[in-house]
């Protein structure tokens, strides 16, 4: 590599061998580039990507611990000495850098492990590689100049932490933390300057298919390339950030509703028309875009995200490669606000001990007396009003709160069993609880392994949930029975593999879905089902419970068919747990 003209080397301290410049530096030392680089374990190179030749400063072998430059005379030779898991980093750093004027070059910086010894050896050093590359007329890298420096692992970790705090690791864009901060800054400026901007939520449509067909590595390449295409169409002042696994957010400055649509069309067209070269093959991608103007349609970061996602969902429901701008929907907004309110109500009720049990009797068909009671949950609001489970359980499931609710129901039920030594209870558990080891541990701790208590407890698992994971359900049932509890399948007959489940699940009771009971007196097919179900349960040594019994005629038919227990409003409304007789 050509070098600046320099004397034979730096002079000994205190013995100048050349003229001293006005800044006090010995001119020969100031021009000794190799000496300066060597002092910091650095070297420099020029890389011709067309021919793949690498020209190095003469100190490169010493810095890298090599015998000579022959081992690193081409980009391929150099790459072979990078550890396999880091080999793509260097090329990605060059090809995915932000574009800038050709005369200045495009900057890049990357760290990787390098093997100075035998190619199959395990010894390696960390290198920091940074420089600039210049493109050809097609915009592809053709030449690069840079320096490499030997660094330690702590330096790499520090740089990763600093860089990662702002950038997404995969796409080099603003990460999930920085993106909302950037939106907040834009909202602040918009309020101060009375200007409007837009936020576009962009989703890569076919990413799931790419991942399934080619693997997640190729999916990452498609995602990375799509981000690069979109970023290439940004104007000065616009920002691109990562929102989630397949979504990007674009902040479009000084943009109203009309310009927002134009920007979205520009991005969609660019992605649609640009082939993506991956390690597997050439692919194409499409994007869907949802947009919202700031601050006119969204004045907070939370509103920006929720409303742009709402618009994106509408875009994806139309067709691939579609844009939808947010439009105020009073019905949707009222539903969303209601969900938020219910979630808050559930959490405050759990925190303030305002969950209540009501008990519905399960009647012995022979004696017509209550042998056990099903626990039904109610939520008491601060004003004393009561909310039935049907009004909040579906929302609790959406918000992931069922585990907390199941645990609180268990606590209330065990306390009730301790208070009433002759009482037997049936308690519903959600599908989440069947995989919750903490719930089982809670049951063990609350019961104190007292089998006189656990034998009075029946746990109900919904039959449709059993179908989802029969093996997990079997393990859960086995554990409960080992603890002394009985187990029931609830809503039996609603699933399409009912008989198969009965064969494999060692349950004690089968609760027949009320849909087969409510019209029993007039529907002969329901009678046939009930008769078959009773015979099957008896074969497996199981008892049966018929739900939704609404009148005496239905109760008589079920009793004659051999049903063990009857449950429904015909035998009374659920009563508050506190109203149970003391002698139970």
Q: Which two tokens stand for residue 468?
A: 């989802």
Alpha-carbon span 174 to 29, nearest angstrom = 42
Each residue's pLDDT tens digit, 48-98: 988 989 999 988 998 888 888 888 999 888 988 887 767 766 766 766 544
Q: What are phi and psi of 352, to 5 degrees?
A: -95, 10
Please tell me the least confidently modeled range out of 164-173, 215-224, 236-245, 407-416. Answer: 164-173
More confidently predicted of 30 and 461: 461
Closest CA to 69 of 82, 79, 56: 56
- At 379-414, the pLDDT tens digits run 999 999 999 988 888 888 878 888 899 999 999 999
Q: How confident is the model at residue 110 (pLDDT cuts 50, 70, 90)?
A: confident
Tokens standing for 255?
């943009």
- Cα separation of 512 and 534, whole Å? 10
The per-residue pLDDT for range 230-260, each reduced to its tens digit, is 988 888 678 888 888 788 899 998 888 889 9
Residue 331 has pLDDT above 80, yes or no: no
What is residue 46's predicted lDDT score, i.e. its pLDDT? 93
pLDDT at 55: 93
Residues 6+ apart with CB under 8 A from 570: 549, 550, 551, 552, 554, 555
Domains 32-164 and 178-328 share a fold: no
Q: What percent of the chain has pLDDT over 70?
A: 81
Over 70: is that where the pLDDT of 261 sits? yes
Q: Where are the domains of the chain?
A: 32-164, 178-328, 346-579
DSSP 8-state secondary structure symbol assigned to residue 173? S
State residue 118's pLDDT score: 64
- Residues 400 and 364: their CA atoms lie apart, in Å, by 36
Tell me: pLDDT of 299 over 50: yes
Lowest mean pLDDT among 205-219, 291-305, 329-343: 329-343
Angstrom distance (rounded) from CA 452 to CA 265:
69
Q: Give mean pLDDT, residues 346-370.
A: 94
What CATH code would you report for 346-579? 3.20.20.450
pLDDT at 15: 36
The top-scoring range by mean pLDDT among 8-12, 119-123, 319-323, 512-516 is 512-516
Q: pLDDT band at 501, cuts 50/70/90?
A: low
**How far, in Å, CA of 234 to CA of 238, rounded?**
6
**The CA-based dihedral angle spanning residues 181, 185, 187, 191, taken in that order and rounded to the nearest 10 degrees:** 150
Count Cβ neighbours within 10 Å for each residue of 350-388 and write b for 16 or more, e otherwise.
beeebbbbbbbbbbebeeeebebbbbbbbbeeeeeeebe
Token pair for residue 247? Answer: 């979504």
Rounded distance, CA 458 to CA 426, Å? 4
Pick the range with the lowest mean pLDDT from 150-164, 185-199, 528-542, 559-573. Answer: 150-164
The span from the CA of 536 to the CA of 550, in Å, is: 24
Instruction: Say how far residue 563 (Cα) sits from the centre of its chain.
Output: 46
Rounded CA-CA distance 317/366 in Å is 55
Answer CATH for 32-164 from 3.90.79.10, 3.30.450.20, 3.90.1150.10, 3.40.50.410: 3.30.450.20
**What is the per-residue pLDDT for 498?**
54
Nearest one of 478, 473, 450 to 462, comparing CA atoms: 473
DSSP state of 367: T
Angle 50-149-160 from CA coordinates, rounded to 5°: 95
* 457 three-state secondary structure: strand
Helix or strand run (H / E) with residue 304? helix 301-318
DSSP bridge pairs for 131: 108, 146
Q: What is the pLDDT of residues 7-48, one digit of tens each?
A: 333 333 333 334 444 444 434 444 455 554 555 578 999 999
- How far is CA 102 from its chain centroid? 40
Arithmetic mean of pLDDT over the chain: 82
578 DSSP 8-state letter? G
| pLDDT at residue number 108 | 84
| Mean pLDDT (whole number) for 491-515 | 74
Can you give the pTM of this predicted structure?
0.51
The average pLDDT across 316-331 equals: 79
Report the C-alpha gap between 558 and 555 in whole angstroms.
Answer: 5
Instruction: Give the highest mean pLDDT range of 81-85, 155-159, 427-431.
Output: 427-431
Least confident of 45-59, 125-139, 203-217, 323-337: 323-337
pLDDT at 165 over 70: no
- pLDDT for 117 equals 74
Say what the pLDDT of residue 346 is. Answer: 92
Sheet holding 239-244, edge to edge: 239-244, 247-252, 197-204, 287-294, 323-325
The CATH number of domain 178-328, selected from 3.30.70.270, 3.40.50.1220, 2.40.50.140, 3.40.630.10: 3.30.70.270
């Amino acid at each position: 590599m050509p070098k600046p003209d320099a004397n034979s080397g730096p002079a000994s301290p205190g013995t100048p061998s050349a003229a001293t410049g006005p800044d006090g530096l010995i001119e020969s030392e100031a021009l000794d580039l190799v000496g300066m680089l060597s002092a910091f374990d650095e070297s420099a190179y020029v890389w011709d990507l067309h021919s793949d030749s690498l020209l190095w400063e003469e100190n490169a072998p010493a810095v890298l611990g090599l015998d000579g430059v022959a081992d690193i005379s081409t980009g391929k030779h150099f790459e072979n000495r990078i550890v396999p898991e880091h080999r793509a980093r260097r090329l990605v750093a060059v090809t995915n850098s932000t574009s800038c004027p050709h005369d200045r070059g495009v900057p890049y910086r990357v760290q990787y492990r390098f093997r100075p010894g035998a190619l199959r050896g395990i010894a390696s050093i960390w290198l920091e590689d940074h420089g600039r590359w210049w493109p050809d007329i097609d915009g592809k890298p053709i030449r690069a100049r840079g320096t490499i420096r030997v660094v330690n692992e702590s330096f790499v970790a520090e740089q990763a932490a600093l860089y990662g705090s702002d950038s997404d690791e995969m796409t080099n864009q603003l990460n999930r933390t920085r993106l909302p901060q950037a939106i907040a800054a834009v909202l602040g400026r918009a309020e101060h300057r009375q200007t409007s901007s837009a936020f576009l939520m962009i989703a890569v449509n076919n990413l799931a298919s790419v991942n399934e067909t080619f693997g997640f590595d190729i999916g990452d390449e498609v995602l990375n390339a799509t981000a690069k295409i979109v970023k290439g169409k940004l104007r000065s002042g616009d920002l691109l950030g990562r929102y989630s696994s397949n979504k990007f957010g674009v902040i479009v400055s000084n943009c109203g509703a009309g310009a927002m649509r134009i920007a979205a069309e520009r991005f969609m067209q660019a992605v649609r028309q640009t082939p993506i070269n991956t390690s597997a093959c050439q692919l194409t991608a499409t994007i869907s875009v949802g947009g919202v103007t700031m601050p006119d349609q969204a004045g907070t970061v939370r509103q920006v995200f929720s409303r742009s996602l709402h618009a994106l969902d509408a875009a994806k429901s139309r067709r691939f490669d579609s844009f939808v701008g947010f439009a105020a929907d009073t019905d949707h907004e009222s539903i969303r606000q209601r969900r938020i309110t219910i979630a808050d109500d559930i959490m405050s009720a759990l925190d303030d001990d305002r969950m209540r049990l009501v008990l519905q009797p399960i009647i012995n068909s022979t004696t017509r007396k209550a042998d056990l009671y099903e626990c039904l949950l109610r939520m008491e609001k601060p004003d004393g009003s009561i909310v039935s489970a049907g009004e909040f359980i579906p929302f609790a499931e959406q918000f992931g709160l069922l585990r907390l609710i199941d645990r609180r129901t268990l606590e209330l039920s065990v306390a009730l069993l301790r208070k009433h030594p002759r009482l037997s209870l049936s308690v519903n558990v959600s599908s989440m609880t069947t995989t919750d080891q903490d719930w089982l541990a809670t049951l063990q701790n609350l019961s104190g392994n007292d089998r006189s208590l656990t034998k009075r407890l029946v746990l109900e698992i919904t039959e449709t949930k059993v179908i989802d994971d029969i093996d997990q359900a079997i393990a859960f049932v086995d554990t409960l029975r080992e603890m002394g509890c009985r187990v029931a399948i609830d809503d039996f007959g609603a699933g399409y593999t009912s008989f198969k489940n009965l064969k494999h699940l060692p349950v004690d009771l089968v609760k027949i879905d009320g849909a087969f009971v409510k019209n029993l007196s007039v529907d002969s097919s329901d009678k046939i089902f009930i008769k078959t179900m009773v015979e099957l349960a008896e074969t497996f040594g199981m008892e049966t419970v018929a739900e939704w019994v609404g009148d005496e005629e239905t109760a008589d038919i079920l009793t004659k068919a051999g049903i063990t227990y009857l449950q429904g409003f015909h035998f009374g409304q659920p009563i508050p747990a506190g109203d149970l007789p003391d002698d139970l």
